[in-house]
């Protein structure tokens, strides 16, 4: 039998906006090298409400699965993980993105969240493939993906506009047969 679960994943609600804003603000400087430049509204309570509402609408349409990462026992929101760009038909694919509060990094919680999200994607969503991209400097995120069974598929040059620059990303993927 495996280790007991330390986190749970569940859809974010509008009422989670204040907790999400706190996480975003407390991690802004740490996350800056890995994220797009956000407009000032994003860093407000109303901006987080709008962001969560957009995620809920995308989930309703079957295009995304935005989830909060919650610590079991305390019920504290510590991060976010999302399957976005869900494509059906012959592709059955989604993109994976995630972040965790810096106070919870290095404890295996993100690995647990990614593993649980993969399980949801394959078992509950019926997806065949999940892909993720990581900047080469983000060794911690690459390690999480590799621990969860993702394979490197290549390097995408100038792939995403991050922190004001077009950044290279290593592409990773996992398919249901590897799960």
What is the pLDDT at residue 1? 45
Cα–Cα distance for residue pair 99/81, rounded to 1 Å: 7
Instruction: Spell out, as residue ranges, where the chain has pLDDT lower than 70.
Output: 1-2
Structural domain count of the chain: 1
**pTM greater than the 0.85 cutoff:** yes
What is the pLDDT at residue 179? 79
Residue 153 is assigned to a structural domain of this protein:
yes
Residue 1 is assigned to a structural domain of this protein:
no
Residue 124 is assigned to a structural domain of this protein:
yes
- Give whole-number Cα distances, 56 to 9, 23, 25, 60, 62, in Å: 15, 19, 22, 6, 10
Residue 165 is assigned to a structural domain of this protein:
yes
What is the pLDDT at residue 3? 77
Cα–Cα distance for residue pair 153/174, rounded to 1 Å: 10
What is the pLDDT at residue 119? 96
Residue 136: give its domain's CATH number.
3.40.630.30
Residue 10 CB: number of other CB atoms within 10 A?
A: 11
Q: Label the pairing between strands 93-100 and 129-134.
A: parallel
Q: Is 24 helix (H, G, I), strand (E, B) or coil?
A: helix
Residue 2 is assigned to a structural domain of this protein:
no
**pLDDT tens-digit series, residues 55-95:** 999 999 999 999 999 999 999 999 999 999 999 999 999 99
């Amino acid at each position: 039998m495996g280790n007991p679960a330390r986190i749970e994943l569940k859809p974010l609600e509008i009422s989670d906006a204040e907790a999400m804003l706190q996480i975003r603000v407390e991690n802004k400087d740490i996350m800056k090298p890995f994220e797009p430049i956000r407009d000032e509204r994003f860093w407000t309570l109303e901006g987080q409400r709008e962001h969560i509402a957009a995620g809920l609408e995308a989930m309703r349409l079957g295009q995304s699965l935005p989830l909060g990462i919650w610590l079991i026992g305390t019920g504290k929101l510590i991060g976010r993980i999302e399957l976005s760009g869900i494509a059906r038909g012959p592709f059955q694919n989604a993109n994976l993105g995630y972040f965790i509060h810096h106070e919870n990094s290095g404890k295996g919680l993100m690995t647990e969240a990614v593993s649980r999200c993969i399980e949801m994607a394959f078992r509950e969503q019926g997806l065949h493939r999940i892909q993720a991209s990581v900047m080469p400097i983000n060794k911690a995120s690459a390690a999480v993906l590799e621990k969860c069974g993702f394979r490197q598929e290549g390097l995408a040059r100038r792939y995403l506009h991050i922190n004001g620059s077009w950044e290279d990303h290593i592409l990773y993927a996992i398919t249901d047969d590897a799960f």
